[in-house]
Amino acid sequence: MKITLTSSNAHKAEELAELFKNSTLDIVPAPKKIEVIEDGKTFQENAYKKAEAYYQEFKTPTLADDSGLVIPARTDILGVQSARYAPEFDDYQQKNQALLKDLGDLTDRAAYFVCYFCFYLKPEEIYFFEGRVHGEIATEARGDQGFGYDPVFLPDGLEGKSLAEVPEWKMINSHRAKAAKEAEKFFQNY
């Protein structure tokens, strides 16, 4: 089944192509980017808004991903606004430094990455899949293999390594990988 991807993020597109490479889904980039205002209060709402907008524009099944980093002790930052955090900075190296400064000496640094996929096949056929990876926020950025907040996120069970230090692990265990596995299982029997 051919599915149009609603993201213009090159890293995310590469990751999704890799995650779905052995599935029955053929994920293809959209012919052009369209502007979608992501003003939903949840990741699921934003994924739906993007998937619906691209479906309406291109009249083909779509896949939208909305994801972010959640820090339960600091719900005033990141979360559904992860991509829009610290807008004064152009790159994530600066955003990560701003985040570490904002957290300061916070002792409860528990966090999780969450991903919602919305597959919008047609208006009466819409499916959501969620994936999460739990861990904590480091006190310094480490690694150069990831993107976004990967250098400051330490997944549970990896003895202090950041997502940016373990790309092989990330491809199998990340929030997107978990959501992709759920979607793959579903679409095998579709």
pLDDT mean over 62-85? 95
DSSP 163-180: GGG-HHHHHHHSHHHHHH
28-37, 45-54, 150-159: least confident range: 28-37
Q: What is the mean pLDDT of the chain?
A: 93
Q: Which of 39, 66, 91, 108 is catalytic?
A: 66
Rounded CA-CA distance 41/105 in Å is 28
144 is catalytic: no
How are beta strands 125-137 and 110-122 bridged, if at all?
Answer: antiparallel
pLDDT mean over 20-44? 90
Instruction: Give yes or no for residue 125 having a pLDDT over 80.
Output: yes
Rounded CA-CA distance 3/131 in Å is 19
Place of tokens 């919008």: 120
72-76, 143-147, 172-176: least confident range: 143-147
Instruction: Give yes or no for residue 49 having a pLDDT over 90.
Output: yes
Domain ranges of the chain: 2-188
**Residue 8's pLDDT band (boundaries 50, 70, 90)?**
low
> Percentage of the chain with pLDDT > 70?
97
Q: pLDDT: is 90 or 71 the higher one?
A: 71
pLDDT at 15: 77
Each residue's pLDDT tens digit, 108-117: 999 999 999 9
pLDDT mean over 3-12? 78
Joined together, the tokens standing for residue 36 give 């979608």
Could you please state the CATH topology (level 3) that the domain comprising 2-188 is classified under: Maf protein (3.90.950)
Joined together, the tokens standing for residue 117 give 């996929």
Number of helices and strands in the chain (H, E): 5, 6
Instruction: Give yes or no for residue 75 having a pLDDT over 80.
Output: yes
pLDDT mean over 80-88? 93
Single-letter code of the amino acid located at 125: E
Q: What count of residues does the chain have?
A: 190
In terms of Cα–Cα distance, which of 176, 80, 187 is closest to 130?
176
